[in-house]
Amino acid sequence: MKDRRTIASARVAFVHSCICALLLCAGPSAQTALTPDQQLARDVLRQLVEINTSFKGGSTGPAAKAVADRFLAAGFPATDVRVTGPQGDKDSNVVIRMPGTSQARPILLLAHLDVVEALRSDWSMDPFTLTERDGYFYGRGTSDIKDGAATLITALLRMKRDRVTPGRTLILALTAGEEGGGGYNGVEWLLANHRDLIDAELCLNVDGGDPLIKNGRRVLRSVQSSEKLFLSFRLEVTNPGGHSSLPPKDNAIYHLTAGLDRLAAYQFPVHLNETTRAYFAKYAALESGQTAADMKAIAIDDKDAAAGGRLSASPFYNAQLRTTCVPTMLEAGHAENALPQTARAIVNCRILPDETPDQTRETLARVVADPAVKITPVQQPRPAEASKLSPAIMGPVERVSARLLPGVPVIPQMETGATDGAYLRASGIPTYGVSGVFIDMDDNRSHGRDERILVKEFYDGAEFVSELVKEISR
Q: How far apart are CA 138 and CA 142, in angstroms?
A: 7
Strand order in the sheet with 452-454: 131-133, 136-138, 452-454
At residue 232, the pLDDT reads: 96
Q: Which residues pair with 351 in a beta bridge?
A: 229
86 contacts 181 by C-beta, under 8 angstroms:
no
Rounded-to-10 torsion of CA 448, 86, 107, 77: -110
pLDDT tens digit sequence for 403-429: 999 999 999 999 998 899 999 999 999
Q: How far apart, in Å, are the Cα atoms of 467 and each of 98, 264, 392?
A: 16, 47, 15
Distance CA 170, CA 186 (A): 19
DSSP SS3 for 184: coil
Can you give 438-453 as a three-state secondary structure string?
Answer: CEECCCCCCCCCCCEE
pLDDT < 50 stretches in the chain: 1-31
H/E element, 227: strand 217-227
pLDDT at 382: 81
Give every CB contact of residue 306 below 8 A, 6+ residues apart in sequence: 294
- Among residues 246, 292, 48, which one has the least CA distance to residue 148? 48
Q: How many CA atoms lie within 13 A of 23 on its CB side?
A: 10
Supply φ then ψ for residue 305, to 5 degrees.
Answer: -65, -35
Residues 152 and 155: their CA atoms lie apart, in Å, by 5
The Cα 189–Cα 163 span in angstroms is 33
Helical (H) or strand (E) element with 374: strand 374-377
Beta bridge partners of 205: 110, 433
Please state, in angstroms and rounded to a whole number, the distance separating the CA atoms of residues 265 and 26.
Answer: 57
| Centroid of chain to Cα 472 | 21
Name the H helices within 199-314.
Answer: 252-264, 274-283, 289-300, 305-311
3-state DSSP percent of the chain in helix, strand and coil, to 5: 40, 20, 40
Q: Which of 155, 170, 157, 225 is nearest to 436 (CA)?
A: 155
Domains, the chain: 32-208+419-472 (3.40.630.10), 274-314 (no CATH)
Q: Cα 86–88–89 angle (5° rounding)?
A: 130
Within 10 angstroms of residue 331's Cβ, the number of other Cβ atoms is 13
- Nearest by Cα to 429 from 112, 110, 199: 199
pLDDT at 10: 39
Q: What is the pLDDT of residues 256-275, one digit of tens each?
A: 999 999 999 999 999 999 99
CA distances from 344 to 301, 340, 373, 376 (A): 39, 10, 9, 11
